[in-house]
């Protein structure tokens, strides 16, 4: 039990997972307090599999036992509590649906290209640059968004930036030199700003895998 003797939401997470990164960024920004349980994907705790048999992270178990097992749902939950910079674009219906469309393309089109590119040795049908070129289409789309506004949908950070950034970071990190050499100047500085932000640094702190005998991490 925590110091205020009240159960807290529990977040099962994996530090290097881009879905978990975006959920944790939203939680940190919204100042929601949760218990963090770092998970080893090769040894998922029974408690996690019991509440979410599909076995992916992040998963958030709320105080009333509701389970959110999609990172986007966790982000919406966090932003519904406190959203001082309007990341959720609450008053902008059109922008909000465009943000969610972009996140959909990220999750369903760009993410598979990222996996193929990052783990190209597992997909020998094509060389890595083929998969990289496929992913490049999305990066160019993001660049064109950033030509219109300082962030993807508007001049301030929104749910789209936070949801997409961890995936672009992984893509860029496969071959940093190549990424820096591309003609994507706005995307490059957008990415660096997030990587250098204190918010990102805080959520990337390292914790040992959760064990019920260890002290609780908030």
Ligand X SMILES: N[C@@H](CCC(=O)N[C@@H](CS)C(=O)NCC(=O)O)C(=O)O
Give contact residues for ligand X (rule: CB under 6 A). Answer: 14, 17, 19, 41, 55-58, 70-72
Helix/strand/coil (H/E/C) assignment for every residue in 39-105: CECCECCHHHHHHCCCCCCCEEECCCCCEECCHHHHHHHHHHHCCCCCCCCCCCHHHHHHHHHHHHH
CA dist 171 and 187 (Å) reads 12
Other residues' Cβ atoms within 10 Å of the Cβ of residue 93: 9
CA dist 75 and 87 (Å) reads 10
CB of 39 to ligand X, least distance (A): 8
CB of 44 to ligand X, least distance (A): 7
Q: Would you say 55 or 81 has its CB closer to ligand X?
A: 55
Q: Would you say 14 or 190 has its CB closer to ligand X?
A: 14
Q: Would you say 68 or 139 has its CB closer to ligand X?
A: 68
Q: Would you say 154 or 194 has its CB closer to ligand X?
A: 194
CB of 41 to ligand X, least distance (A): 4
Bridge partners of 13, per DSSP, are 38
CB of 58 to ligand X, least distance (A): 6
CB of 181 to ligand X, least distance (A): 28
Closest residue to ligand X using C-beta atoms: 17
Q: Would you say 57 or 142 has its CB closer to ligand X?
A: 57
Beta carbons of 163 and 72 less than 8 angstroms apart: yes
CA dist 71 and 26 (Å) reads 10
């Amino acid at each position: 039990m925590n110091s205020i003797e009240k159960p807290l939401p529990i977040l099962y997470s994996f530090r290097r997972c881009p879905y978990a990164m975006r959920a944790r960024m939203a939680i940190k920004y919204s100042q929601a307090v949760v218990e963090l349980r770092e998970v080893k994907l090769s040894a998922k705790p029974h408690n996690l599999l019991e509440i979410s048999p599909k076995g992916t992270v992040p998963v958030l178990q709320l105080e009333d036992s509701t389970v959110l097992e999609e990172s986007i749902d966790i982000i919406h939950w966090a932003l519904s509590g406190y959203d001082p910079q309007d990341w959720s674009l609450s008053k902008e219906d059109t922008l909000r649906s465009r943000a969610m469309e972009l996140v959909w393309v990220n999750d369903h089109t760009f993410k598979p290209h990222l996996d193929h590119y990052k783990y190209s040795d597992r997909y020998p049908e094509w060389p890595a640059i083929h998969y990289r070129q496929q992913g490049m289409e999305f990066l160019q789309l993001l660049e064109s968004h950033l030509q219109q506004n300082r962030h993807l949908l508007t001049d301030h950070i929104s749910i789209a930036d936070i949801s997409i950034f961890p995936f672009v970071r992984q893509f860029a990190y496969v071959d940093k030199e190549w990424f820096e050499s591309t003609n994507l100047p706005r995307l490059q500085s957008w990415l660096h700003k997030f990587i250098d932000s204190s918010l990102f640094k805080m959520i990337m702190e390292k914790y040992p895998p959760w064990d019920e005998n260890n002290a609780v991490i908030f």
